[in-house]
Amino acid sequence: MSETPSNLDALNLISDWAKWLVAIQTGAIALVGSLFTSDNSPVDLLSKAFGTSAIICVLVSIGAAAILLLSLPEIAQYLRPNQNIWNTRDSLIYRYLRLNTQSFALLESIFFGLGLSFTFAMLIAVIWF
């Protein structure tokens, strides 16, 4: 049995992961936005700093997800049997940024984690301060 079907399945899993991250991060942006546009009480400077950092990290992660999703069809075109999907360099990510698929997905996930951490820190700052 050829490895290509499992490679295509792996690409679909990467695609699903990136899409779920974008959906979760869109919710985080909505949460941050709703806290800053509420007329209930003024938001302190620490909460604003955490919220701004969260939005920046989330936007970087969403941008990375968009580029990753954009590169997946190109990677699928050049798939070879027994090729590790994470080490693919047949995409614009590698040509322009010199990152393989795994490095770029890791970068996307790190900024997702940072954005989520800043969102939780902002919520804690809003509640306690």
Nearest to 54 by CA among 116, 109, 106: 116
Contact 123, 47 (CB under 8 A): no
> What's the predicted TM-score (pTM) here?
0.84
What is the rounded CA–CA span in Å between residue 41 and residue 72? 45
Q: Give the least confident one: 30-44, 58-72, 95-109.
A: 30-44
What is the rounded CA–CA span in Å between residue 15 and residue 55? 22
What are the residue ranges spanned by the domains of the chain?
4-128
What is the rounded CA–CA span in Å between residue 85 and residue 100? 9
pLDDT by residue (tens digit) across 59-80?
A: 999 999 998 898 888 888 888 7
Tokens of 102: 């795994």
